[in-house]
Structure 1
């Protein structure tokens, strides 16, 4: 579904998202096959370049949400973004199925990329859906967290532990610091 649904947006904004409401009306998309990724990684390695993948989470995940609406707090409907900027719709931090999905995706990523580092993004993740989501509110209570910042910290720390158990290190954008991160991030 990520390649069938999540890899294609129905059209693209023409101009800046703050000043334009014009779209090109042309579907656009694409993705790399596993073999193409292996080829890119090998090509780079021959030139002493390490390819570090970035799998953005818990925000910037509209392609995943459009493909699997149950990953979001509202369960959709969602569509692949046609504008720049970020969305208030993010991955639900309250459901175990979200983490199971991410672990499956990351397991595939680890097979394809031998890099020690895996970039998880972590930036521009609005907490507005989490504040209203019963699953996220329950997770906050169960884990003894204060708020959405703590919930994001829980989310990325959990992913980091999963990566560490597989011999990898997590990197991300500076906004991860808002909820606190481990010294190894």
Structure 2
């Protein structure tokens, strides 16, 4: 049974979410380049210092839930049970990331759509998006390799994770770019996952 977070943790989560929502509103209205950290903090009714307790830079607000998703996927891989195959574990980890993207507000809150739209025109965000993607892929591949040390080498683990993460990410981006709603984007991510699952080794 999950522990109920304390008051301090709840306040921290609410402040972080308030910053995300304020940033989304401002980015939508003024564009990414036209918004400062001070404006985001003021809109969320906190100090600039508080902003930097939650995010290192303005662009990090757009990736507010990314680390949580990776942590959940790594935990899912570490839960490998007796008799499970790499494909089984990778599918569970991917499904957990998709669920978090929905429950955490990345899709339903409009953050994913805004991130894709801004990344198409802001080079700094394109670079950060690539950096995040490569880092997550490497972390998941390492976790999968550690879960199956006798079955997977570094190349195979990286290939499996790259295929899955690449397919899910590409499906989500395509759906977002054509203007699909949150539920449709989630379904597209699952379609990408299922397409890769059919080709994974039994």
Q: Which has the higher strand share?
A: 1
| Larger RCO: 1 or 2 (CA < 8 Å, sep 6+) | 1
TM above 0.5, yes or no, is no
Q: Whose radius of gyration is greater, 1 or 2?
A: 2
TM bucket (normalised to shorter chain) is 0.3 to 0.5
